[in-house]
Amino acid sequence: MPQQTSLPTRLAELTAVQALELFRQRLLSPVELTQDCLARIEQHNPTVNAFAHVDTTQALTSARAAEARWHAGTPCGPLDGIPTTIKDLTLTAGMPTRFGSATSDPDDPWEIDAPISHHLRQAGAVILGKTTSPEFGWKGVTDNPLHGITRNPWDHRLTPGGSSGGAAAAAALNLGLLHQGSDAGGSIRIPCSFTGSFGIKPTFGWVPQWPASAMSQLSHLGPMTRTANDSALMLSVMAKPDARDGYLGNPRADDWLTPPPTSLKGWRIAYSPDLGYVDVAPDITASTRKAVEKLQDLGATVEEIDPGFDSPLEVFNTLWFAGASQVLERLDMDQQDKLDPGFLGIARRGADISLRDYLAACRAREQLTAQMQLFHQQYDLLITPTLPLSPFEAGHNVPPGGPYREWMEWTPFSYPFNLTQQPAASLPCGLDDQGLPVGLHLVGPRFQDLKVLQVARLLEQHLPDHPNLDL
């Protein structure tokens, strides 16, 4: 960490790592930074609709407490004073968690922090509010019956993706410096790709979840930020055990902030431009291939090879639809009438899945997991595009006029690695022919999240910077 850091001309360009150093040097206060974020939320949110709830009073109270601790030289944790957001699927004390659904009750007491909210608060994070999600996080774009359509900061006509679309839009505009997302089929990586942000879905078991997701062991919680460095910082706080999580698989702590290597000499990286079966837009392929060439320049041995599995779409849909059906069990018919028709449709399809078919999907998932474990005995990472296409018109589940019927069909690179529970990240790697962001997908072996983060942190130093949004 450098000993001296100059205050940037514009606070909107700060990363969390930079802000903490400025706090240490007393060149910036958490109150100033929080006020700046709140002012820009007021400026941008009417257009992008990234927030389901903003709590100015709670945020400023937390920021003032953090400011006092920094002045006393006693910060309470590694995120003390950093403006942060929580997704509207995660319980947060003092703020409503509506799940993007008109079936939720705004008058509930909202007194409980989920593990991730608790860990962030304990580390000193200033919680600004809750970011938008489709209803119960069910799809790869972000709109819902309660809060409407969330839009892409790069072009407001387009979707930011989903389901963590509000978090991604907020990250792209720096409406808060750290953002929590969730990912059961790509919901961190899809919107990070569409908005030029960084996000990682950690190995299942690193970050505790409670209450458990209806999608069970498909669902991962992780950070979404403007840089891989900031995600490493945030993950160092999020990836701690909590006794309420019955699925916690590996509570030991990695040193997520270990500096990346200066060279990738000795690393073996597999590059699959299409997994052997995906139709990818040529400009997406061109951007991702240039990033892969940078990996070679940094010393890695890169082999163009497919991991060797067929599309697991049917397997994923069986498990996904079955999970969605659990939501219906706690809703009466009047409440079901208030649901997004698309969500209601997949939930009802899930209710019709037989036990035989469900167990067959579980066995196929186990086979895919074992296959990828063997694959990673040869390769440190697998690289693919994050998505095969560019952002499309907001308010649609699939690109209008295209060949897709359901959102899972245009997200073929993400959901396979929810089935296998591997760490996977999306790193912005360039722009497509329309000047919109392209994501590079980095997939690592289970519990080797540090490899993904280190390569992402090194590579982002060597990739071209995006043009700045109007922050």
- Note the pLDDT tens digit of each residue in 348-403: 999 999 999 999 999 999 999 999 999 999 999 999 999 999 999 999 999 999 89
Whether residue 2 is predicted with pLDDT greater than 70 in this model: the reply is no
pLDDT tens-digit series, residues 392-413? 999 999 999 989 999 999 999 9
pLDDT tens-digit series, residues 155-178? 999 999 999 999 999 999 999 999
Whether residue 439 is predicted with pLDDT greater than 70 in this model: the reply is yes
Of 214, 216, 210, 218, residue with least CA distance to 188: 218
Mean pLDDT of the chain: 95
Q: CA–CA separation, 234 vs 379, rounded Å?
A: 27
Whether residue 49 is predicted with pLDDT greater than 90 in this model: the reply is yes
Across 304-329, average pLDDT = 96
User: What band does 232 get if pLDDT is binned at 50, 70 and 90?
Assistant: very high
Q: Which residues contact 363 (CB under 8 A, 6 or more apart)?
A: none
pLDDT of residue 286: 98
Catalytic, 201? Answer no
Please calculate the CA angle 116-119-122 and round it to the nearest 5 degrees.
150
pLDDT of residue 256: 87
pLDDT of residue 327: 93
Whether residue 470 is predicted with pLDDT greater than 60 in this model: the reply is yes
User: What band does 1 get if pLDDT is binned at 50, 70 and 90?
Assistant: very low
Catalytic, 187? Answer yes
Q: CA–CA separation, 99 vs 103, rounded Å?
A: 9
pLDDT tens-digit series, residues 88-106? 999 999 999 999 999 999 8
Q: CA–CA separation, 36 vs 42, rounded Å?
A: 10
pLDDT of residue 8: 57
State the virtual CA torsion across 152, 157, 161, 166 in degrees, nearest 10: 40
H or E segment and range at residue 438: strand 437-443
Whether residue 205 is predicted with pLDDT greater than 60 in this model: the reply is yes
Q: CA–CA separation, 366 vs 385, rounded Å?
A: 24
State the virtual CA torsion across 24, 27, 30, 34 in degrees, nearest 10: -140
Residue 333 forms beta bridges with which residues? none
Catalytic, 87? Answer yes
Whether residue 425 is predicted with pLDDT greater than 50 in this model: the reply is yes
Q: CA–CA separation, 97 vs 366, rounded Å?
A: 33
Cα maximum dimension of the chain: 63
Place of tokens 């006029």: 401
From the candidates 104, 117, 164, 187, give the one annotated as an active-site residue: 187
The answer to whether 452 touches 444, Cβ cutoff 8 Å, is yes
Give me the percent of the chain exceeding a pLDDT of 70. Answer: 97
Across 338-345, average pLDDT = 96
Q: CA–CA separation, 443 vs 416, rounded Å?
A: 11
From the candidates 62, 101, 133, 163, give the one annotated as an active-site residue: 163
Whether residue 117 is preceded by a cis peptide bond, meaning omega within 30 degrees of 0, is no
3 state DSSP class of 66: helix
pLDDT of residue 3: 41
The runs of H, that is alpha helices, within 239-340 are 282-297, 313-328, 333-336
pLDDT of residue 216: 84
Across 234-257, average pLDDT = 84
**Half-sphere exposure in the Cβ direction for 53 (13 Å, CA):** 24
pLDDT of residue 255: 86
From the candidates 87, 139, 201, 240, give the one annotated as an active-site residue: 87
Whether residue 5 is predicted with pLDDT greater than 70 in this model: the reply is no
Across 231-256, average pLDDT = 86
